[in-house]
Homo-oligomer: A and B are copies of this chain.
């Protein structure tokens, strides 16, 4: 299909009709292949998980460096060795780190629950007692962040995500006068799904901006801090120091985990924040937990050996992942370059490629792909309530399938993108009525 390189919108009706026929034929051929491929979630592949299989026979000891029997109850903040290791990696002090269970999402939810039921140190009352709570959500963003807020009836207002982070002027305007705006989400490094990395300047702006709410919190989900895809390794902005320097030490709550370092479901998750926030968190968690799984923490300490061990391990992931991301770019470039119907990110880290297709066709692309056996994240999933008003954003997750599967799937996706665009443009030529997808949104966000 590379034989057309004119922007599709500039084609004559006859040429467009011919292009559409070509794409229809290509799509029928695609369907005939009986594919069964899944690009929906940012899951590590079995090959990546294998890298950590030494965990299965660790730890060799049952006592931590302080002599504590890790098998027994207690130790709400986690064992000292893993806190020190990840304090080093996250550029904070060990006293600013809590090592928890297997899910940073759960720590995020715990923080949100404590805020709803008790409020923060500076809160006039529990957040649940407020008439309205609003979060600022850079878009496109992580669907689980948004569904968590929606599940608690928290309102969401969006700002645009750019290559160097969110539109901080827009954020500053939203938080300045409205005390209901209590928080914001951000994936600062290799963002889900845009791949963008927040600049120091933008991080500093978020740290120092005036907020009407005295208890404003930045949920800083540093899920991909060490997840580089190139030698150009992004350094995460040091939001905790920036906020502290700006006089808002309790503003950031940083989250991280080893889920995409060792085992996705059996890693160690972390909260990093001011000591006051650590005390706030453990002050509530003491009523809810007998302590984290310290055996798994010691297992990870022995596995990594040191902070450098974590970095070295990430290089092995990069060797597996980088070719898959290259394959996505190659497939999209080969099929779609020059057609003016798609734009996609070339991330230097993280787990996703952000694909923007012709306005109004994302839902159709996902439906076409599904019919051809290629499951994509539902269109709009990267927006609050699953609503992408332009219907153009698709999140691609190439980590889980094999390289060959990624190549096959992405060639198929490119066909769907071209077909949907041609259909849409041809419909415009035909009767200028609004495009109606014939298959519809296959599933909720």
Of the residues B60, B71, B116, B288, contact of A106 by C-beta under 8 Å: B288
Q: B70 and A151: CB pair below 8 A? A: no
Interface 9-mer from A51-59, A91-99, A383-391: A51-59
Copies in the complex: 2
A101 to B151, CA, bound (A): 22
Give the segment of A25-33, A263-271, A274-282 that binds chain B: A263-271
Alpha-carbon gap, A152 to B117, bound state (A): 8
Is A73 part of the binding interface, using a Cβ–Cβ cutoff of 8 Å?
A: yes
Is A246's CB within 8 Å of the partner chain B?
no
Docked-complex contact A75 and B116, CB < 8 angstroms: no
A266 touches B62 (CB 8 A): no
| Contact A106-B265, Cβ < 8 Å, known A69-B46, A113-B113 | no
Q: Which residues does chain B contribute within 8 Å of A84, judged by CB atoms?
A: none
B292 touches A265 (CB 8 A): yes
Interface of A is mostly: loop
B57/A56 in contact, CB under 8 A: yes
Among A293-301, A306-314, A436-444, the stretch that binds chain B is: A293-301
In the assembled complex, the CB of A300 is this many whole angstroms from the nearest CB of chain B, namely 12
A208 to B295, CA, bound (A): 43
Contacts of A72 on B, CB cut-off 8 Å? 43-44, 46, 49, 263-265
Cβ–Cβ < 8 Å partners of A105 in chain B = 288-290
Interface: A103 (CB within 8 A):
yes
CB neighbours of A408 from chain B (8 A)? none
Q: Is A180 an interface residue (CB 8 A)?
A: no
Interface string of A139-174 (1 = CB under 8 A from B): 000001001100110000000000000000000000
- Taken together as a complex, chains A and B put the C-alpha atoms of A252 and B376 apart, in Å, by 40
A102 to B291 Cα, complex, angstroms: 9
Most buried by B among A52, A116, A288, A289: A288
Asked if residues A148 and B59 are in contact (CB atoms below 8 Å), the reply is no
A259 an interface residue at 8 Å Cβ cutoff? yes
CB-CB under 8 A for A287 and B106, given A43-B72, A128-B128: no
Q: Which residues of B contact A147 (CB under 8 A)?
A: 287
21 intermolecular pairs with C-beta atoms under 8 Å apart? A46-B72, A49-B71, A56-B58, A56-B62, A56-B295, A70-B265, A71-B264, A72-B263, A72-B265, A102-B293, A103-B290, A105-B288, A106-B288, A116-B117, A117-B152, A147-B287, A151-B284, A265-B290, A266-B296, A293-B293, A293-B296
